[in-house]
Amino acid sequence: MSDETPLPDGFESITVTANGTRLHAVVGGTGAPVLLLHGWPQTWRAWRHLMPTLAAHGYRVIAPDLRGTGASSRPPSGYDKDTQAQDMRELLAQLGIHGGVRVVGHDIGGMVAFAYARRHPEEVEHLVLVELALPGFGLEQAMDVASGGLFHFGLFMTEKLPELLIEGRESEFITWWFDWLSAVPGTFPPEEVDTIASSYRGYEALRAGFAHYRTLLDDGRVNRAWHETGGTLPMPVLAVGGEHSTGARLADSLNTAAPHLTGAVITGSGHFVPEERPDAFARELLPFLSAPLRAAGRI
């Protein structure tokens, strides 16, 4: 596997072995570290519009491919979000980063970001969660089709079946997926879809991608057990939803778990906020990331 897509100016690709897995990341900028974690079916490129902006505002930006995606390796296991949080922690350690990190996660990447903050709160300065239903905090309801939930969770969690259905039709499926979940026409032109599909093409690549979904029920049990025994997030948390997708539901679901919570809804956006409305997202993100810890408040 390789990543031959163009990089933003001033960024470079690196590959390290972290937590026993080969991980690819794109890094650039100097200053306080910001870890950007993408969702499914995406790679580090989900952040390509925001990475130069963050670097220009004095941040060291690290945008990995999660295990099983992009140019990272595709191990048979380890897709639970706690293991992936350790992937990210060891990746940062290889870069000389041992704390003081701002973690931003979208979709599946938001689940990994939450696990990182839950497990190592002393290392996470600010946490930003974008467009997801969090395991243990509303995901189980979002996947309940009998109550109006979304169908794809059950499909993707089924062993082997989605691979068999989608293999050979990756571009067509991803085109449909982005059309279904986005609200801004033109966000994903055919050449971008082709680039993304190339990272998910073939049975094994699809298997690794769907493996992120096949741990969700266990991820939820872990999160609930933590919260039921008194766990809360001590750092400032920004919960971001798209107007035409999650909206304020993510922030509402974190009401009891994040005492220093701020919610934001990005007008006009669907699920893929960092690509559909990058400028509007940056207007929420940059002040939050730079705010002193004591200044972050709850709305």
Catalytic residue among 3, 87, 107, 219: 107
Catalytic residue among 79, 80, 213, 244: 213
Cα 180 → chain centroid: 19
Check if 49 is active-site: no
149 vs 170: CA distance, rounded Å: 24
How is residue 134 written in tokens?
A: 């969090």
221 vs 116: CA distance, rounded Å: 16
Beta bridge partners of 26: 13, 63
**How, if at all, do strands 124-130 and 237-242 pair?**
parallel
Catalytic residue among 24, 38, 260, 271: 271
Beta carbons of 245 and 184 less than 8 angstroms apart: no
275 vs 298: CA distance, rounded Å: 26
What residues contact residue 124 under an 8 Å CB cut-off, 6+ apart? Answer: 101, 102, 103, 116, 117, 235
Check if 271 is active-site: yes
How much of the chain is in helix, strand and coil states, percent to nearest 5?
A: 40, 20, 40
Structure-token match 């794809």, residue found: 152
> What are the start-end ranges of the E strands in the chain?
11-18, 21-28, 32-37, 59-64, 101-106, 124-130, 237-242, 261-266
Check if 213 is active-site: yes
- Give the largest Cα separation in the chain, rounded: 52
SS3 (DSSP) at 68: coil
Active-site amino acid positions: 107, 213, 271
